[in-house]
Structure 1
């Protein structure tokens, strides 16, 4: 795995470099000391994994990564920082891990191994046939392609299936519908199941979180205790 280190603190950068050089399956392909160098280094060296400090000069590491992830969707990001203020943003850019300084070797090794595994899975991923979700609607049976479902919401005594073009109401319980869905769906709240592949952003909202979906106004709720599970799913 090709690794890029982006860290403006020389002692931390030295530690990371020394640690990674001892691992047989990881090669350092570059170093960056600020956010602008980070972007140019990603473009030129095309790393598989990048270790990113957030508090860097010129352009912070979070903003630099945000400008790169759409261009390089397979890039595996591990944030290494002295503050937990950006943890939610790290989730939104699908970071593999968010490690607080001082860095522990075991935690770093685990994150690197998971990033390598994610990268390999993305390379080898094959699209399997997906079954449609079958629901009863009045006197009819409707087949909804699972890839079209954004989320399912329990509302009073009905379940509402949200797609971009239509909402379907059914008497089926969330538990029953969840048993028919494939692994891309996650029960993120007692009243919601979301399609993780359609999730665009997570936003803090009081004691819980809101799930946003691209080009769709309505949002789903995410329980606070499900955020870690979501992050693990995404990574």
Structure 2
């Protein structure tokens, strides 16, 4: 059974108690925390990385929409169900891809329908991520076939007629060209230079020196070059698509 981690937020304890009561029979739902303010909510999301938020649109007189926007910056994959007495924020809530918008007083069946929808989305994304993490780059040479997990690849370098595939444990050689290799990789890889493909999730920092750029990687001595013409597109993809914080020096 796949557990769904939930944080509930409301500035009225009675509302929290009702949610606890309704959620208790659901064996696949685990309430990992509750809170009464947007500040508490942001901190809990940062620490706990929940799958789902159930929250009032107003938390301690703070706009819940803004609080959720902050939470999505911290943990972009979290799903959100708003629970409120007023309906005027519904359009704005759905614009930010809220799973559902429930009006108080809460009806058990209505809540369960929303949670089932959120659960389906969460489990689908988990399956997608598992499939992605299990993918391999297939390298064939005279010794046979090697399956290199994509998550382990740090970068790929064109070296003469060959390409070198760098991982922490080994450097693999392949006769494939960079263009063909790009078609075998996931979207967190980026053609940063005519001689380099970089795994964006492995970058620790990007260093500029004399109008040239190099990518450095976590706990790895080798580095990769970045074309001056590609640096803008690379930064945009890292900051917008991956929702991560990187350092440019």
Q: Does 1:98 align with 2:101?
A: yes
Which structure has the greater CA radius of gyration? 2
What is the alpha-carbon distance in structure 1 between the residues aligned to residue 23 and residue 63 of structure 2? Answer: 23
SS of 2:62's equivalent?
A: coil
RMSD: 1.6
Deviations 1:112-140 (A, max 9, x none): 1111110111122268xxxxxxxxxxxxx
> Is the Cα–Cα contact under 8 Å of residues 7 and 34 in structure 1 kept in the other structure?
yes
Unaligned segments of structure 2, at least 5 residues: 133-239, 241-249
TM-score (norm 1): 0.52
Which residue, 117, 122, 141 being the options, matches 2:120? 117
> Is the Cα–Cα contact under 8 Å of residues 96 and 114 in structure 1 kept in the other structure?
yes
Match of 1:48 in 2: 51
SS of 1:103's equivalent?
A: coil
> Is the Cα–Cα contact under 8 Å of residues 69 and 93 in structure 1 kept in the other structure?
no
Match of 1:17 in 2: 20
Q: Does 1:71 align with 2:74?
A: yes
- Number of paired residues? 128
Unaligned segments of structure 1, at least 5 residues: 128-213, 215-235
What is the alpha-carbon distance in structure 2 between the residues aligned to residue 36 and residue 60 of structure 1? Answer: 12
Match of 1:203 in 2: none
SS of 1:52's equivalent?
A: strand
> Is the Cα–Cα contact under 8 Å of residues 45 and 74 in structure 2 kept in the other structure?
no
Match of 1:135 in 2: none
Q: Which runs of 4+ in 1 moved over 6 A?
A: none
> Is the Cα–Cα contact under 8 Å of residues 46 and 74 in structure 2 kept in the other structure?
no
Higher relative contact order (CA 8 A, sep 6+): 1
